[in-house]
Amino acid sequence: MKQLFLMAFSVSFLFSNPAFSADMPAKAKTCVGCHGVDGNSMVPNFPKLAGQHAKYLEKALKDFRDGFRKDATMETFAKNLSDKEIKELAEYYASQEAK
Ligand code: HEC
């Protein structure tokens, strides 16, 4: 149920928010609802990614994808990402200014 709510929340947020930045990797569009356009999440339950070290973000995403870090929500969003996509996402969020 919580999962459904989160999905509905992120989907509705996606469609109501046209402010995607141009240099954003394609896969980052699915992350916006929870982590914000530039990785500055406005929801206290979702971590900020902006300005985080790329290496750390890369590791976190691989850990979610490969089951070393357990979070039902993030597992859903990380499981179909390739190593290349993860690297692009990590570099994108690391290069954003933390607000
Ligand atoms: C439905 C909401 C939601 C969506 C969509 C989502 N995330 Fe997350 N994300 C979370 C939550 C909640 C956590 C905290 C998980 C935990 O407690 O371990 C998290 C954690 C993370 C972390 C670890 C942050 C840290 O400081 O350790 C990264 C990196 C991350 N998400 C990246 C992404 C990327 C990239 C996408 C898109 C492909 C994405 N997330 C989509 C909710 C979401």
Report domain extents, the chain: 2-15+24-94
pLDDT the model gives residue 11:
57
Closest ligand 1 atom to residue 81 Cα is: 38
So what's the architecture of 2-15+24-94 in CATH? Answer: Orthogonal Bundle (1.10)
pLDDT band, very low/low/confident/very high, at 57 (cuts 50, 70, 90): very high
Cα gap 70→65, rounded to integer Å: 9
Cα gap 95→4, rounded to integer Å: 31
pLDDT the model gives residue 13:
55
Residue 62 has pLDDT above 60, yes or no: yes
Residue 98 has pLDDT above 70, yes or no: yes
Q: Angle 46-74-70 (CA atoms, 0-180°, nearest 5)?
A: 105
Nearest residue to 86 (alpha-carbon basis) of 31, 45, 33, 47: 31
Torsional sign, CA 69, 37, 77, 89: negative
pLDDT the model gives residue 22:
67
pLDDT the model gives residue 27:
95
- C-alpha 47 – ligand 1 centre gap (Å): 7
Protein residues with CB under 6 Å of any ligand 1 atom: 6, 10, 27, 30-31, 33-35, 45-47, 49, 57, 60-61, 71, 73-74, 77, 89
pLDDT the model gives residue 40:
97
pTM of the model as a whole: 0.85
Residue 15 has pLDDT above 70, yes or no: no
